[in-house]
Amino acid sequence: MNEVNPRLTVNYTQVAFDTLLEISNIINMAGSFEKVLEYVIDVMKNMVGATGAGLLLYDQEKKSLVLQKPAFGVSDRNLISLYQVSMDDGGNAVNVFKTKTPYWSNDVQEDPIIIQRLAKAFKLCNIVTVPVSTINESYGVFHVINKPAGFTEEDVSLIKLLVSQIAATLRNAWQLNEIKNQEMESRVLFQLTTNWTLGDVAELLNNAVIQMCKVVQEADAVAIGVEGRARLVIGKVQPEISEPIIKDQKFWSKLAGTGYATHPKIVKLSPKSNLNTVEEWARRHGYSYSVSTPIISEGKLWGMIWIWRKQEVNLDARQFRFLSLVAGHLAMALHNRSLFEKEKSTAKELKRIFALHERLSKVLTDESGIEGITQHLAGYLGLPVIFSTKSGNRRVVVPFDDSYANHFDLLGEVQRYHKSNRQAVNPKGPVRVSAHIGGMSLSAILAPIKSGREILGFVGILEKGRVLDKLDLLAVEKAVTYYALELMKSNISFEVEQNLKVEFISSLLKGEIRTPNEAGQRAASFGLDPSMPYIIVIFDINFLSGAERDDPKDEHKTFRFKRRLLREITNYLDVYRQGTAAMNMGNRMIVIIPGSCGKSSEEYMDRKLVADLAGLLKSKYRLLVSVGVSTPAQNIMEFAKAFQEADMCISYLNKSAKQGQIMFYRDLGIYKLLVNLDPGITQEYVKDLLGGLLTLEEDKKSELLKTLEAYLDNECNLKNSAAILHIHPNTLRYRIGQIEELTGLNLVSPNDRANVHLAIRLMNLTT
């Protein structure tokens, strides 16, 4: 596929920035995921001139790609909910999801890959499908449909680029929306628990109906039937139920006796079906489908919750779970007064958890970040909380003055648990361990912070004075979700900024930006001072020698390793001088380091610093690192020249078999002229001057070449050269004679001396 027209790069960059900013604004304004998706769809349609678009996210439970609302300009929720593609169905969306390769077609009706029933349902003429994924994880696919003139390769590239930039942000917005839905469910359950009144069952059930309608929006009607004091109470929603549905007082015992009401059930209310009294009533009033959920406690059936629909029921797993929770709460409310009092206590804990959710939600939009989440969790539990990233680069302890928490080796405890259980920390939730702190044993909770399969970090809670109960552990699990979102938000921000910075710096290094004004404006946005001198340093890394190998079969692993190296180099150099910029370029790390005006590289570029950093990479990762250092670029418009200097240093190290060393451009000397010469011309020149000498056996040739080089380096002083070679002057005189005889050179001649000295240096670059 062709690359995007370079003239569109600036526009595309602005679109990407504006899109990410607007998504953030929508989230900060408490907007729903539907509003986020609606905005993204509008951007996509306007960008390529299409008439519709839609996002399909992968549902792990259904093992299907599920279309999200809104989509394709269709308002029918039932139609949208039918757009679910199983991994076994194949088709365009599944292929793109699995291969991460875009697909487009301008003739949908004749395309065998497109699932025609879906194409007809949404009136598709042409379509572009791109993966919604990051390096580490695939989330789904994005469809853009029905461009009047048909899609072009440039359209596909633009759509792919924009979706790749906002993929993780879209996923985060969806996850945040899920958290908001959970919070709404918590509010509903909390509202129910705070309004339980056993003396007035009808009031309780009517309140339950009202609260359920806030969550189960797909329902056309909701009713609750309960056996209470030998009577039936029906809660009402549209249309109102004015007539008694059940007159038989033995209805509930008969229903329980048939086993019908022991679990949630979906029933099609057809005239030929064997329906009970309530279902017959619903069918007569125009409903075609029914979902029933039992209100049951300790084997006793108290009643049922019914959801009625005029069309096929499309409740998702979350709503089914919510109905079961409501049914459970109602069953407990109706059980007895003692249970009711117990649930009042639980309601207080739910209120505390909800308050914790509210505080943690604010953390996502303010500047407190990881520190704020840790502070809120510690305050809620009343116990010390320790956070650490997986690599241990960042650690937060609350309270910071707790001696046990300060000495708690969180990552060490994780490793010990891993060894003793032959698995990572339990991915299903927090685990309890016996931690070793200063020779003492103390109970602690370990909880992994995950994004998909990738572990981002860990949380540890020291159980000092009390043991966490189920509600406490639930609070920990919710806090872990916020930790993951915060870490992913930071990673996304870093990646977006890094990608844009890399694009800009690459253009500078290649000399593609020729206008100082343009370069200055863009440099300032990335924290670079256009008028300040900078040094370009190239770290050329031999990945094949390291423990983390450059495995072509695992590109994700290689990418993550290179990104970790980049952060290691950046963090190390930031301590030395603020304003360092770094980027990956193949197996090279390009580092831009700010300097001081009017000083040579040695005066503000500590050689020991570069040597220590190369040594760190070698010892920690077992990598062979060659380092090339330029002279100062007095402003950013000289970056291309400085990059060529550093690159010339690397070329010299590679050609002279001196990998793993450090070379400053100013130390290259005459090699500045020689390093980029054509190899064919170089070999011809060496052969013409040293021809006969090069035909000798290896030992003899090496001896005479070493003798000749020492003789020339010492300005043809016989005594000094012999001393350096540890031979007698007569022996040296004899060897010089042999060399002159083999090559036809006259080493008394200044011209021959200069030519043969140059030939030896060229030979050192090619052998």
CATH code of residue 621: 3.30.70.270
Residues above pLDDT 70, as percent of the chain:
72
Structure tokens of 260?
A: 């019908």
Structure tokens of 8?
A: 């569109």
- Residue 320 lies inside a defined structural domain of this protein: yes
Q: Between 146 and 453, where is the model more confident?
A: 146
Q: Is the pLDDT of residue 611 over 50?
A: yes
Mean pLDDT of the region 636-648? 82
Contact between 569 and 582 (Cβ < 8 Å)? yes
- Residue 99 lies inside a defined structural domain of this protein: yes
Nearest Cα to Cα of residue 66 among 52, 45, 80, 79: 80
Q: What does the longest C-alpha to C-alpha distance in the chain come to?
A: 129
DSSP-assigned states of every residue in 667-729: G-TTHHHHTTS-HHHHHHHHHHHHGGGGGS-HHHHHHHHHHHHHHHHTTT-HHHHHHHHTS-H
Q: Is the pLDDT of residue 597 over 50?
A: no
With cut-offs at 50, 70 and 90, classify the pLDDT of residue 546.
Answer: very low
Residues 612, 627: Cα–Cα separation, whole Å: 12
Number of domains in the chain: 5
Residue 634 and residue 523 share a domain: yes
β-pairing verdict for 103-105 and 662-664 = unpaired
Helix, strand or coil for residue 199?
A: coil
Residues 384, 313: Cα–Cα separation, whole Å: 47
User: Given its phi and psi angles, is residue 405 left (phi above 0), alpha (psi -120 to 50 degrees) or beta?
Assistant: alpha
Q: Cα–chain-centroid distance for residue 50?
A: 29
Which of 382-391, 416-425, 729-738 is the least confident region? 416-425
- Residue 578 lies inside a defined structural domain of this protein: yes
Structure tokens of 685?
A: 């020149």
- Residue 450 lies inside a defined structural domain of this protein: yes
- Residue 1 lies inside a defined structural domain of this protein: no
Most confident region among 62-71, 492-501, 549-558 by mean pLDDT? 62-71
Q: Is residue 592 within a helix (H) or strand (E), and if so which, with residue range?
A: strand 588-594
Residues 742, 516: Cα–Cα separation, whole Å: 57
Q: Is the pLDDT of residue 2 over 50?
A: no
Mean pLDDT of the region 680-689? 66
Secondary structure of 20-83 in HEC code, one letter for each residue: HHHHHHHHHCCCCHHHHHHHHHHHHHHHHCCCEEEEEEEECCCCEEEECCCECCECCHHHHHHC
How far is residue 412 from each of residues 416, 435, 446, 462, measured CA to CA in Å?
6, 10, 11, 15
Residue type, 602: E
Residue 563 and residue 591 share a domain: yes
φ, ψ for residue 485, nearest 5 deg = -65, -40
Residue 368 and residue 237 share a domain: no
Among candidate residues 455, 489, 523, the one where a domain is terminated: 489
Predicted pLDDT of residue 338: 40
Q: Is the pLDDT of residue 110 over 60?
A: yes
Residues 305, 226: Cα–Cα separation, whole Å: 9
Contact between 442 and 464 (Cβ < 8 Å)? yes
Residues 475, 352: Cα–Cα separation, whole Å: 9
- Residue 388 lies inside a defined structural domain of this protein: yes
How far is residue 597 from each of residues 533, 584, 631, 634, measured CA to CA in Å?
6, 27, 12, 8
Residues 535, 634: Cα–Cα separation, whole Å: 9
Q: Strand pairing partners for 295? A: 303
pLDDT tens digits, 419-475: 777 654 445 678 888 888 877 888 998 988 887 777 888 999 998 888 888 778 888
CATH code of residue 229: 3.30.450.40
Residues 6+ apart with CB under 8 A from 227: 252, 301, 302, 303
Which residue reads 């450059």 in tokens?
550
Mean pLDDT of the region 32-59? 86
> Could you tell me the strand order of the sheet in which 385-389 lies?
395-398, 385-389, 454-462, 440-451, 431-437
Contact between 113 and 137 (Cβ < 8 Å)? no
Residues 22, 464: Cα–Cα separation, whole Å: 44
Nearest Cα to Cα of residue 713 among 723, 705, 721: 721
DSSP-assigned states of every residue in 340-365: HHHHHHHHHHHHHHHHHHHHHHHHTT
Q: Cα–chain-centroid distance for residue 582?
A: 19
Residue 223 and residue 138 share a domain: no
Mean pLDDT of the region 11-34? 70
Contact between 471 and 349 (Cβ < 8 Å)? yes
Residues 6+ apart with CB under 8 A from 441: 434, 435
Burial class (CB in 10 A: 0-12, 13-18, 19+), 587: middle
User: Given its phi and psi angles, is residue 635 left (phi above 0), alpha (psi -120 to 50 degrees) or beta?
Assistant: beta
Residue-range definition of the domain harbouring residue 83: 6-171
How far is residue 528 from each of residues 491, 500, 506, 540, measured CA to CA in Å?
21, 13, 14, 24
Q: Is residue 215 within a helix (H) or strand (E), and if so which, with residue range?
A: helix 201-215
φ, ψ for residue 11, nearest 5 deg = -60, -45
Report the mean per-residue pLDDT for the chain: 76
Residues 6+ apart with CB under 8 A from 733: 718
User: Given its phi and psi angles, is residue 140 left (phi above 0), alpha (psi -120 to 50 degrees) or beta?
Assistant: left
- Residue 664 lies inside a defined structural domain of this protein: yes
Residues 716, 49: Cα–Cα separation, whole Å: 78
Predicted pLDDT of residue 144: 92
Residues 6+ apart with CB under 8 A from 295: 224, 226, 301, 302, 303, 304, 305, 327, 330, 331, 334
Q: Is the pLDDT of residue 576 over 70?
A: no
pLDDT tens digits, 328-383: 777 777 765 445 555 556 666 666 666 666 666 666 556 568 888 888 888 888 88
Residue 161 and residue 28 share a domain: yes
Contact between 94 and 65 (Cβ < 8 Å)? yes
Residue 593 and residue 650 share a domain: yes
Per the document, the length of the chain is 767
Mean pLDDT of the region 481-502? 70
Nearest Cα to Cα of residue 216 among 323, 106, 110: 323
Residue 356 and residue 330 share a domain: no
Residue 656 and residue 528 share a domain: yes
CATH code of residue 702: 1.10.10.2840
β-pairing verdict for 662-664 and 624-629 = parallel
pLDDT tens digits, 285-340: 888 888 888 888 777 788 888 888 887 766 666 777 778 878 877 777 776 544 55
**Residue 521: DSSP 8-state:** H
Residues 266, 306: Cα–Cα separation, whole Å: 10
Residue 161 and residue 126 share a domain: yes
Predicted pLDDT of residue 128: 93
Which residue reads 């000399």 in tokens?
511
How far is residue 246 from each of residues 116, 404, 766, measured CA to CA in Å?
47, 64, 98
With cut-offs at 50, 70 and 90, classify the pLDDT of residue 106.
Answer: very high
Q: Is residue 419 within a helix (H) or strand (E), and if so which, with residue range?
A: helix 410-421
Among candidate residues 106, 137, 171, the one where a domain is terminated: 171
Residue type, 225: G
Residue 139 and residue 10 share a domain: yes
- Residue 189 lies inside a defined structural domain of this protein: no
Residues above pLDDT 90, as percent of the chain:
5
Residue 164 and residue 25 share a domain: yes
Among candidate residues 646, 671, 696, the one where a domain is terminated: 671
Residue 268 and residue 162 share a domain: no
Q: Is the pLDDT of residue 201 over 70?
A: no
Contact between 742 and 693 (Cβ < 8 Å)? yes
Residues 323, 207: Cα–Cα separation, whole Å: 14
Nearest Cα to Cα of residue 55 among 93, 95, 98: 93
Nearest Cα to Cα of residue 335 among 293, 390, 296: 296
